[in-house]
Chains A and B, each alone.
Chain A
Amino acid sequence: MARFDTLNTAWMVWDNPAPAPEGAVLEYTRELEKFLAEIERRAFRMAQVALRDPDDALDVVQDAMLKLTRSYASRPSPEWRPLFYRILENGIRDLQRRRTVRKRVMTWLPGPKEDPENEAQDPLENVADSAPPIPEKLMQAQAMQQLEESLRALPARQREAFMLRNFEGMDVAETASAMACSEGSVKTHYSRAVHALREQLGEVW
């Protein structure tokens, strides 16, 4: 309890109170924004590698951000990254499961022969870029495409371990926390993923 020598000092404290809770909220929001800004693009690319479709990937990333801020933002900031990626992976898996179910249902239903998603696309997106791509860039893009294809062919847990360790730069403990498994499992999944990818890409890379 604060003690005041005179009534004036009490009034001075009353007029200039200690930092308002809003300041703390602002500080916390800034930290959260920094974290999300740092992570969002890589998270999007990782979701895109798994799902292929950029719109689906955006939806999954947005959901993961919302879930993190709504339910886990009060946790200490070092825990945010593994938590975020766990939410993201769950979202990816849910979407893949829904796709599988939808595909099974759609095979029983008569539908249009052409893919309606392609019809809805903006035709300008399909127009070739006027500037010729630099050969080196093109080669890099092709190499990345091959890597993505190979990653999609991996079992989900191996792909997850590889992306978190290699692309996101997480250590074994963090990856284990994000994948909700033991550190030993992470090492096994990662090692198998590297082995499988090198076998698949060995000749073209």
Chain B
Amino acid sequence: MSERENDAFETRSRALFQDSVDGLDMRIRSRLTRARSMALEAAVENRRPWLFGWKMWAPAAGVTAAAILGLGLWIGSPIGHQAATLAESNIEDLDLVAATDEGSSDAMEMLQDDIDFYDFADKAANSGPAA
């Protein structure tokens, strides 16, 4: 098959295709126009600065509000209160032991020397009242 014949074939098929495009009925044309409008609306929606899109902020605002509410409820509840008190007392104990003022080294030494006594006292307390 020659190059010229190929060219003629290509030209003819292109012309036929273009004719069929030009001859599209109104129903198809109108549906294509509608599809185009929808696509353009989507494009404009995408193009808006994201900072101003309320849809962008709505989930974040919801999560933040829920977190604040949860924290408030937790602090107000007995469990939250107990946890806060326990944390406070632990910090106080730690302060006593780790104090850097005078005599603090004595306290540490005392804690180390009497560790056997504290161990015994703990076991005695757990085994019930002494006979």
Which A residues fall within an 8 A CB radius of B?
A: 21, 25, 28-29, 32-33, 36-37, 40-42, 44-45, 54, 58, 61-62, 65-66, 68-70, 73, 140-141, 143-144, 147, 166-167, 169, 194-195, 197-198, 201, 205
Expressed in whole angstroms, the minimum distance between the Cβ of A62 and any Cβ of chain B is 4
Residues in A whose Cβ lies below 8 Å from that of B110? none
Q: Which 5 A-B pairs have the closest CB atoms?
A: A65-B39, A69-B43, A62-B35, A69-B39, A144-B16
- Residue on A with the closest CB to B9? A198
Q: Does B122 contact A (CB under 8 A)?
A: no
Q: Does B46 contact A (CB under 8 A)?
A: yes
Residues in A whose Cβ lies below 8 Å from that of B48? 25
- Give the bracket for the number of chain B residues in contact with chain A: 20 to 34
B35 close to A68 (CB less than 8 A): no
B1 close to A198 (CB less than 8 A): yes
Across the interface, B42 reaches (CB within 8 A) one of A70, A147, A194, namely: A70
A40 close to B32 (CB less than 8 A): yes
Expressed in whole angstroms, the minimum distance between the Cβ of B37 and any Cβ of chain A is 9
Given A140-B19, A144-B17, A167-B17: A44 and B39 interface contact (C-beta under 8 Å)? no
B40 close to A36 (CB less than 8 A): yes
Which B residues fall within an 8 A CB radius of A?
A: 1, 5-6, 9-10, 12-14, 16-17, 19-21, 24, 28-29, 31-32, 35-36, 38-40, 42-44, 46-49
A58 close to B10 (CB less than 8 A): no
How many A-B pairs with Cβ below 8 Å? 95
**Assembled-state Cα–Cα distance A184/B32 (Å):** 34
Expressed in whole angstroms, the minimum distance between the Cβ of A194 and any Cβ of chain B is 6
Majority SS of interface residues in chain B? helix
B20 close to A69 (CB less than 8 A): no
Across the interface, B13 reaches (CB within 8 A) one of A33, A58, A147, namely: A147
Residues in B whose Cβ lies below 8 Å from that of A25? 44, 47-48
B32 close to A58 (CB less than 8 A): yes
**Assembled-state Cα–Cα distance A198/B9 (Å):** 8
Residues in A whose Cβ lies below 8 Å from that of B13? 147, 166-167, 197
Across the interface, B10 reaches (CB within 8 A) one of A73, A166, A205, namely: A166
Residues in B whose Cβ lies below 8 Å from that of A169? 14
B6 close to A194 (CB less than 8 A): yes
